[in-house]
Amino acid sequence: MKPRMRSWIIALIAAILFVGGLFWVRANPPAGEPDPLVDARDQLVERLGLEVALEAGPGGGLRVEGVRPDSPVDRAGIQVGDRLMACGDRSVWHVHQLVQFIAEDLGVAPAVSLMMERDGVYWNVLLGGRPRAMREAVGRGFAQRVSAPVA
């Protein structure tokens, strides 16, 4: 093999490794500096089985973009296309807030309450915890409540 050809192949391999490395780093950010956005979304998927848009759309609320089968949100009947309007009693405009609110709520209570919307109909979903007598009693009226344990 001619020496010139060999150096060309080496350059090609180096280029492939470099580009591949870039992709690898992108997919696996160094442990020291996690991407907070990726981290937030991963937490939602892991804990609740929920994938949402990063920011609220024109009508407010985060659009549900994915529901992992048999996850808490799946068992609670949440579907792709639903909008998550509020968590606890706070409006949600960004995925960061949602993650923060869920962490806060799970810190003080075993459950997270979400206000969902589909085609203009709103309903309450309670994730985690056991439905207590009061929550069950609260079921009258148009806010239906569903309880599904958090993974």
Single out the residue of 3, 18, 31, 140 in contact with other proteins (rule: CB under 8 A).
140
The tokens describing 11, both together, are: 């350059």
Considering only residues 51 to 70 of the shown chain, the ones binding other proteins according to CB under 8 A are 58-60
Decide if 92 contacts 56 (C-beta within 8 A).
Answer: yes
Does residue 14 interact with other proteins by CB under 8 A? Answer: no
Q: Kindly state the number of chain residues that form the binding site for other proteins, as judged by CB under 8 A.
A: 23
Sign of the CA dihedral running 25, 28, 31, 33: positive
Nearer to other proteins, 79 or 91 (CB): 91
Non-local (6+) Cβ contacts of 81 within 8 A are: 63, 64, 118
Considering only residues 92 to 131 of the shown chain, the ones binding other proteins according to CB under 8 A are 113, 115, 119-122, 124
Nearer to other proteins, 42 or 85 (CB): 85
Decide if 78 contacts 116 (C-beta within 8 A).
Answer: yes
Q: What is the C-alpha radius of gyration for the chain, rounded to an integer number of angstroms?
A: 22
Q: By the criterion CB under 8 A, which residues form the site for other proteins?
A: 58-60, 85-86, 88-91, 113, 115, 119-122, 124, 134, 137-138, 140-143
